[in-house]
Amino acid sequence: MSDGFKKRILIVDDHPIMRRGLVGTLESEPGFEVVYQLDSAEEVLHVLDKGEELDLLLVDVSLPGMNGIELVKNVIFRKPDQKILLISRHDEFLYAERAIRAGAKGYIMKFETADEILRAVKKVLNGGIYLSSELSEKMLLGMATGKKEISESPFDVLSDRELEVFELTGKGKSTREIAERLHLSVKTVESYRARIKVKLNYENANELMLHAVKWVDEEKEKF
């Protein structure tokens, strides 16, 4: 980078192979140094509470315990100017808006090329916001038509974790598959589904499944 000092980056992702890949991508850039590789949100908060100064946090959305978007909210509460880029397997159209509202400066999918990940990191470090061209266009159209939010949905009442469970339900994942994906117990996933039914006034599991499938399909059609 132009200031002569390496940018200090923290990565939090509970998949070791993904972490190693991200480290390799970032440290291929002479101006970047990955100073922390962590696997939980709680570890990130512990590092920040020690007074560590970091140029960028690269955060996975799905983490054991506190998820990535909740982590963003906690970090921004502590350090409002902290630059955070979320990286995820979750579809951008489902989570990017929440990420930006929480205080992140960007959202990128894990399957993007190394060059694109570096471009996203550089844009955030330089004070910009990184989103895909499709979502950026959607946001600009929303502003042009006077909409305050990118989208307004009855599903906004769901917490970030509940939305993850709802999305995976809509993609046909079983309770056990969701539990494994989100590092939760089967009982905890069942509790989340029960809360979703209450919040959205669904009478039973079949109604939840039908609405979840419909929602995922409708969100995909927006792009």
User: What residue ranges do the domains of the chain occupy?
Assistant: 7-142, 154-221
- Taking only the tens place, the pLDDT of each residue in 135-188 is 766 666 655 555 555 455 667 788 888 988 998 899 899 999 999 888 889 999
Lowest mean pLDDT among 84-88, 142-146, 205-209: 142-146
Fold agreement between 7-142 and 154-221: no
Amino acid of residue 30:
P
Would you give the end-to-end CA distance of the chain in angstroms? Answer: 35
Which residue from 93, 19, 29 is spatially nearest to 59, judged by alpha carbons? 19
CATH superfamily, region 7-142: Response regulator (3.40.50.2300)
pLDDT band at residue 208 using 50, 70 and 90 as cut-offs: very high
pLDDT tens readout for residues 103-126: 999 999 888 899 999 999 999 999
β-sheet bridge partners, residue 7: 32
The answer to whether the CB of 167 falls within 8 A of the CB of 179 is no
Q: Which two tokens stand for residue 132?
A: 């895909």
pTM: 0.75
pLDDT for 4 equals: 59
Distance CA 9, CA 87 (A): 14
Which CATH architecture does the domain made up of 154-221 adopt? Orthogonal Bundle (1.10)
